[in-house]
Amino acid sequence: MKPSKTSLYILMIWHGVLAGGFVVAMITGYGAYHAHIFAGLVTSFAVGLRILVGVAFPKNHVLTLPVPSFASLPLGLHGVWRFISHMLGFAVLGLCAFAALTGWFSWSGVKVHSQISYAALSLISMHILLLFLMPGKKTPRPTKAGFR
């Protein structure tokens, strides 16, 4: 079943909101405290909304949360890549949510919030790198009128 353009558009908007909130939170840090708090709230809202939407949609829909399955491992390299990408997706969501939650309690002087945020940033970088390295991504195909 091919996903609808609207679903893919919603997923791209969500990625943009999450990335934008995370980037603003990382750039502002403690220098612009209120902007940092607002960006953290945007990131928290994006993660919470993604979990709610992922649970609400049916199993084969593009907006549902992909569940990592060990059954995909014997399917060869594609199954391994799929399993790794699903595990990274869950790890990114979990660490972003955990970083946002620890931000609420970082006023006590504990530096755990920034360390978890840097760990989430490294997982996000691995997620992006995996998408570029993943086999089977779309490549332009030649047609009579040129490339599509």
pLDDT, tens only, 82-93: 788 888 888 888
Each domain of the chain, given as residue ranges in start order, spans: 1-65, 68-134
> Averaged over 12-27, what is the pLDDT?
89
Residue 80 or residue 49, greater confidence: 49
Long-range contacts of 54-60 (CB under 8 A, 24+ apart): 60/1
Residue 148 has pLDDT above 80, yes or no: no
Residue 39 has pLDDT above 80, yes or no: yes
- pLDDT tens digits for 96-144? 888 888 887 766 656 788 888 888 888 888 888 887 877 655 544 455 5
The DSSP annotation for 33-62 comes to: HHHHHHHHHHHHHHHHHHHHHHHHS-TTST
Angle value at C-alpha 49, between 54 and 122, nearest 5 degrees: 90
C-alpha 38/C-alpha 54 separation (Å) is: 24
Which of 28-32, 49-53, 106-110, 127-131 has maximum average pLDDT?
A: 49-53
pTM, entire model: 0.76
User: What confidence category does residue 147 fall into, taking pLDDT thresholds of 50, 70 and 90?
Assistant: very low
Residue 86 or residue 49, greater confidence: 49
User: What confidence category does residue 17 fall into, taking pLDDT thresholds of 50, 70 and 90?
Assistant: very high
